[in-house]
Amino acid sequence: MIENESEYYDYNNIPIELCKFSLQHGKTNHVRLFLYFKSNSNGYLKNKREVYKRAAVSLNNNIKTIHNHLNWLIKEEWIIPDLKVNSIRIISFEKLASKLGFLSTKGAVLYKIDIRDFKSFAIAAVIQYNMMRNKRRNYQAGLKMRSPQLREIPPYPHLTHNYLAKVLNKSKTAISRYKKQSCRMKFLKCQKKYENLYIPSFHYNSFKEFGPYESYKLLKRSGTILRQLPDKIECFIKLRNKWNLREVCRKNRNEKKTEPSY
């Protein structure tokens, strides 16, 4: 039961897969309510009007929206009502991981004061996770292959819009909007980066047409042609392992391997 919010956790280690799910399926507000209840209870809370009013104020929603999101959580069995004692139970991350087929045990630290801005947090968390994953992959590829192509990879932390669009199954326009939103809420810091091609700007039109680079990445500045590189990204998100998801994720990975391919 929620009696005093301060007596429960100041933060939660949120599964990265849950952040990804919320963005892919457009359910960030529904997940946000789930996390609000989880962060402000011991897993159970009284099904009281005051509880939902408090949630509405904390999440900057109206009561009708809170009830709509709650109904979805109940329908999906993320929240289980107990009519006998007039309470609801918030399922564990382990059960949620089993239900949604999570594959990764990585989590991101979400402080209670940031739950209202969960969507911006989720964007930054997914970016941070995939930047670290790509960095590890590129390092391992460099050790195994000594590939000269790895020299073309910018040495600073980055993630292209194309890559993130595939991860979240969204358009590049949506990804750009997501990043800007997360930057506004101070979960990310992005810096534009350019490569000077040292080609005089009067060759701009012909170079756009016949050059080796994508034309939309080329621009003129100070009498020369520049190529736009991926933004340098700084994430202010702490990633941690969620060891309690290890067995569930291992089971999900094994089941995925045995799925028939058509």
Neighbouring-strand partners of residue 111: 11
Domain limits, the chain: 5-112, 189-232
The yes-or-no verdict on residue 180 having pLDDT over 60 is: yes
**Which two three-digit tokens encode residue 174?**
């949506």
Per residue in 37-83, pLDDT (tens digit) is 999 988 898 878 899 999 999 999 999 999 999 999 999 999 999 88
* Whole-number pLDDT of residue 214: 86
* Band of residue 17 on the pLDDT scale cut at 50, 70, 90: very high
* Whole-number pLDDT of residue 215: 87
Per residue in 222-259, pLDDT (tens digit) is 899 999 999 999 999 999 999 999 999 999 999 988 87
Region 106-111: what's the mean pLDDT?
A: 97
Per residue in 126-178, pLDDT (tens digit) is 999 999 988 876 655 554 444 444 456 788 899 999 999 999 999 999 999 99
CATH of 5-112, one of 1.10.10, 1.10.3470, 1.10.287, 1.10.8: 1.10.10
Among the listed residues 19, 7, 30, 42, the one whose alpha carbon sits nearest the alpha carbon of residue 237: 19
The yes-or-no verdict on residue 21 having pLDDT over 50 is: yes
Q: Is the pTM of this model over 0.75?
A: yes
Among the listed residues 33, 30, 237, 229, the one whose alpha carbon sits nearest the alpha carbon of residue 123: 237
Q: CA–CA separation, 77 vs 87, rounded Å?
A: 14
* Whole-number pLDDT of residue 142: 54
Top mean pLDDT of 1-10, 84-93, 181-190 is at: 181-190
Among the listed residues 137, 166, 131, 158, the one whose alpha carbon sits nearest the alpha carbon of residue 16: 131
Among the listed residues 200, 34, 54, 55, the one whose alpha carbon sits nearest the alpha carbon of residue 122: 34
